[in-house]
Amino acid sequence: MNTKNATDRVERKKLKREARKKAEAAKPKPKRPAGVARGSMKRKVKQMVKGQRKR
């Protein structure tokens, strides 16, 4: 990413932001390891009863 030609700070920021977004999109996501549950399949945390103290 070359920002030498950008004259003002706002333009340079815009160029950098675009470059970051492009780099992030190009990077392949790692595969989810076997045995790791997805959102709806995860075990839910039981809610504590209201009025109960932990200790």
pLDDT at 45 over 90: no
d(Cα 36, Cα 40) in Å, to the nearest integer? 12
Confidence of residue 13 (pLDDT cuts 50, 70, 90): very high
Can you read off the two tokens belonging to residue 18?
A: 């675009």
d(Cα 46, Cα 12) in Å, to the nearest integer? 49
Mean pLDDT value across residues 36-48: 79
d(Cα 3, Cα 1) in Å, to the nearest integer? 6
pLDDT of residue 20: 92
The whole-chain average pLDDT of the chain stands at 83
Contact 1, 19 (CB under 8 A): yes
Mean pLDDT value across residues 29-55: 78
Confidence of residue 24 (pLDDT cuts 50, 70, 90): confident
